[in-house]
Structure 1
């Protein structure tokens, strides 16, 4: 029995593949890049097909309009040409060859066109446009994440999460009264922009120079020393636009921010704390300086109004993350806003708390993981979290000695107490330790990977 043309073609292809494998050749990188354009969900294949169809119809239309060649004559000529070709080359060779040549020319032309556009729009980029499009699509399909906190902890978290989702909302405390933010707050009467500036810079879309400019801190100048450019920029925009929310939106456009950054409230909030020795301390920066054990914490005014956009973000969220950050001066101030507190309690989505790696002097001296959770639950009036993320591996002996001099120690994960609070412990290595200084921080990428992995299992 003679072999069918299809089987002959298949065997011919398999034979060629074996030859390529024998000499150790691989698919050229350029070809791989072309085929990326056919990845599912990129919304490119349909446009390629429409372009090709449009080209064919245009050519036919021109031929008919100018009466250069009647359509039937053209079809006759095409039929004769194909018949002649198949006389010398079998159809199972000439057919696939013509298809491959056509697809090659079509993809080559499209990729060269896109390459020219990429060069014009992103001349110094080290990433192909197709890879940027794939990343963009993937991030746009990411979960709606709400991250709540302040200080450097929240900006560290956002720096890692922005690689996985563009549907993020950072809700930031505005209780800061120290440093550049405190000076602007006292002298001009604006809400403190420091923590918000850090979050906006962390979410910036690889605009390195603009981000460095936003974080630049003046080292000299009468009245400028200690101020960051971003703080001054946000202060000026607040005056121009009328409020901090609009100022953040405008600066986010300049920095091509992924997601949103929102203040927890637009009220002028001042923290107060009652210490175990009876002292009553006002001001976020003064609370940590007092070096006492915090018994109660609150704010003035007592019930600040939440930003409506922040409440909407919590209600629409797929995933809520709180922390890392200073417990009493970065995390809890957001929960002192009643509407935010109530929205978090009512949320039916996964909620996780990222616990600090080390205790903090003047805030959490001697605190365990359950002590952190109890402090938050006291403010909220009931259990808030489904799980708490804790660093698994302790810092190096060098780092431990460095922190011990400051009376700081690793936060102990007391499993039984945490379980009694109805909360799950999630252990993971998410620490980043500076070998020179011994400073311990959360690693943005490691932290984000663990948090997204836990979310995917819920």
Structure 2
């Protein structure tokens, strides 16, 4: 009984040893992957050792080197008498290479231990380098929108590419952003704050910090830390664009966040009952049916960096987000709409899952598309991503009490508008029945469609 137990234990230990050895060998070979720029430096290191040895030999006139070589020749002669040269030679070469790899591995391990932040998972440096290389070779993605929908999407996209540009509306005039806009004359930082937190490497901690709202203090109550941070940076750097760029460096943001315009934009909407409502926060509260939307000043100039990003984009995504107060305000900047229309990159619109009271009550998918087309005067995207399944009964009841319902897919009307339909399960419901897009699922579906569209365009 005991012999069988010992045999089983030995077999288990051997299997674990083989797995560890296999893992270590795999990690070594990863350093030889193309694009890591390790092989060339390894060869240069070896050449340096050889040259240094030759230089030492010349300097000391070969006297000690000669006797060392004589000793090695005698030693190797003994070895070759015991083992043939076609066996002893490869064995010595293999032993030398193993020593070299072991030394390099220990060196890299020591560097990794120093560079790895305290508390970070035991991730190999080569895996970090490979992930970094993959992300920074990813497609150039431009995402246009605002609100929580845009930041949700960015959380998923940043795991596929670091070449992300989020173009964000600056029409917000409610809450903390609105107060800062009135008191300091700065552009509203709220949506930009959310995007910066979503793209940051330490997202969880930064999100908590940036979303922290002061609950006491004269003038501080209701303000978020992130909004105050960006306001201070705007004052220090001179404008919001520089403030966001500087903040991105401080926060190690993966990608970039750009305001659609640096103009002080104010939204207005004409309702079906003839009323004209001004102010982004006032439009949903008016409770009417929107028939036209615009901004003051009309035709604001676009941020040049935003236009450059759109022209260079491999992939353009519009939404998700509030149709009239998050998405369309970006497209009211004519240069942005023109750049999107002229782009040859795949373009897709991510439709909202639920209608929004005061903006899109009763809207179908085709109604969302028509509203965007009407605001821009042209067709800006090729396909629309729609959630496939209905939310749970608990969520439906919760939203129905707020006069909000799932956006109905009127397939024939969408196809008549010349749009392809991408159906997928991309919904996330929290514990209280709040419906959102799932960042990982959404990003995975968007990249799958991009790969297919990109291949199709290549053919």
**Contact 1:207/1:255 (8 A) holds in 2:** no
Task: Tell me how far apart the structure 2 counterparts of residues 406 and 380 of structure 1 sit (CA, whole Å).
Answer: 30
CA contact (8 A) 1:158 1:202 kept: yes
Q: In structure 2, which of residues 364, 387, 393 is the aligned counterpart of residue 391 of structure 1?
A: 387
Aligned 8 A contact 2:173 2:279 in 1: yes
Aligned to 2:277: 281
Looking at structure 1, the residues matched to 13 and 84 of structure 2 have their Cα atoms a distance apart, in angstroms, of 28
- Cα shift at 1:83: 3.6
- From 328, 339, 345, give the equivalent of 1:343: 339
* 72, 82, 86: which one aligns with 2:80: 86
What residue number does 2:49 align with?
55
- Do structure 1's residue 96 and structure 2's residue 96 form an aligned pair? no
- Cα distance change on mapping 1:92 and 1:389 into 2, 3 Å: farther
Higher deviation after alignment, 402-411 or 323-332: 402-411
Gap regions ≥5 residues in structure 2: 1-10, 454-459
Equivalent residue in structure 2 for 1:194, among 186, 190, 193: 190
* Match runs of 1:350-429 below 5 Å: 350-429=346-425
CA–CA distance in structure 2, aligned partners of residues 273 and 103 of structure 1 = 73
Which consecutive residues of structure 1, in runs of 5 or more, have no partner in the other structure?
1-19
Please give the root-mean-square deviation of Cα atoms over the aligned residues, in Å.
1.9
| Contact 1:34 1:108 survives alignment (8 Å) | no
Instruction: Give the equivalent residue in structure 2 for 1:440.
Output: 435
How far off is 1:449 after superposition? 1.1
CA distance in 1, matches of 2:182, 2:343: 36
Q: Does 1:26 align with 2:26?
A: no
The 2-side partners of 1:86 and 1:119 are apart by 42
CA distance in 2, matches of 1:92, 1:409: 78
The size of the alignment, in residue pairs, is 438
Matched ranges for 1:39-438 at <5 A: 39-69=33-63, 78-124=72-118, 125-126=120-121, 127-206=123-202, 208-434=204-430, 436-438=431-433
Deviation at 1:313, TM superposition (A): 0.6
C-alpha distance in 2 between matches for 1:67 and 1:338: 77
The SS at the match of 1:389 is strand
Q: Once structures 1 and 2 are overlaid, which stretch shifts more, 232-241 or 394-403? A: 394-403
**CA gap 1:118/1:211 in 2 versus in 1, 3 angstroms:** farther
More moved, 397-406 vs 418-427: 397-406
2:30 & 2:165 partners in 1: Cα distance? Answer: 31
Distance 2:298 2:31 in 1: 56
SS of equivalent to 2:397:
helix
Distance 1:139 1:106 in 2: 30
CA gap of 1:122–1:26, structure 2 versus 1, over 3 A, is closer
Q: CA deviation at 1:73?
A: 6.4
Q: Which of 277-286 and 20-29 deviates more?
A: 20-29
1:63: Cα distance to partner?
Answer: 2.1
Seen in structure 2, the aligned counterparts of structure 1 residues 115 and 417 have a Cα distance that, compared at 3 Å, is same
* Aligned 8 A contact 1:324 1:355 in 2: yes
What's the secondary structure of 1:284's corresponding residue?
coil
Alpha-carbon distance, 1:95 to partner: 3.3
Q: Give 2:5's aligned residue.
A: none
Say if 1:345 and 1:380, in contact at 8 Å, map to a contact too: no
CA contact (8 A) 2:146 2:326 kept: yes
Q: Secondary structure at the match of 1:26?
A: helix
